[in-house]
Amino acid sequence: MFRSLLFLSLLASTTSLSIAQAPADGQTDSLKVATYNIRYANPNDGKDVWPHRQEFVIEYCKHNDIIGLQEVTEPQFAQLRAGLSDFGSYGVGRDDGKSGGEHAPIFYRKDKFEILDKGTFWLSESPETVGVKGWDAALPRTCTWIHFRDRRNGAELYVANTHFDHRGAKARAESGKLLAERLGKLPQDLPIILMGDFNTLIDSEPYNAIVTSLTDARKASKSKPTGPTSTWNGFSKIAPDRIIDHVFVRSVDVLRVAVDDPKTDRGRFASDHLPVQVVVSVDE
């Protein structure tokens, strides 16, 4: 009984957070977009293994219109698709361009968006080469992108989701330059949202490369960002001043930015990262 009441309480907390961020009157075309590193399904995670977290990650995702996820293995991807039946998705494995290795998928509400185009490129010296590690990266890294049309108003939107390497400093710096170059070449009137786990802090070299083409949503927001000043908890405690998960935009009005803190029914973090949600408005 206590476990059921705790679950309902936590669920209500997540729901109230979403309601608190609901678009204001006159902003009916606003969108909730989030990035969330959900932590891969590591069987050695003890109390924080994926089966203990799965339903709570899925519940959080439901409170968004578009969400970019990182560290998603193929079994997790299948479970997320099953749990998010109102969402479409796209993402490929970084090892083989199919199902091998981590995915960085984008989920989107099928009733709100149609896909005009989509693809994946690798963060490397040869971006179209599948499975390649770039520069000094420990692992292959990808960028997933989708060109959407909003079914409600016809507005087009380019969304990209990525996960920078956790070890290679040169790889992170060059990945920032690669994304700035690629996204900077898109038509200037096309709204862009780039999100992900960048494994890099504000004002670092990779961050500064990206903001030559895009703007940090935190700085573009019409209201003060809310939530912790960190997106990393390591399943232990929220580390101070460690925002490494970011959302960048171009030609998008940012209404709100929040670092959220979803928990499981055991009161534990739903992932070792905290998600970042932005509420945006895109002109037709």
pLDDT at residue 28 in the model:
60
pLDDT at residue 137 in the model:
99
Which CATH number fits the domain that encloses residue 218?
Answer: 3.60.10.10
What is the CB-side half-sphere exposure of residue 103 using CA atoms within 13 A? 25
Number of domains in the chain: 1
Task: Kindly list the averaged pLDDT for each block of 10 residues, start to end, along the chain of length 284.
Answer: 40 41 53 99 98 99 99 99 99 98 99 99 99 98 99 97 99 99 96 99 98 98 98 97 98 98 98 99 87
Q: pTM for the whole thing?
A: 0.91
pLDDT at residue 110 in the model:
98
Task: Return the structure tokens found at 110.
Answer: 């099928």
Its domain, for residue 160, covers: 2-281
Do the Cβ atoms of 26 and 255 come closer than 8 Å?
A: no
pLDDT at residue 271 in the model:
99
* Residue 82 exposed, middle or buried by CB count within 10 Å (0-12, 13-18, 19+): exposed
Beta carbons within 10 angstroms of residue 51's beta carbon: 9
pLDDT at residue 12 in the model:
43
Do the Cβ atoms of 250 and 211 come closer than 8 Å?
A: no
267's torsion region: left (phi>0), alpha (psi -120 to 50) or beta? left
Torsion of CA 68, 220, 111, 183, to 10 degrees: -60
Backbone angles phi, psi at 159, to 5 degrees: -120, 130
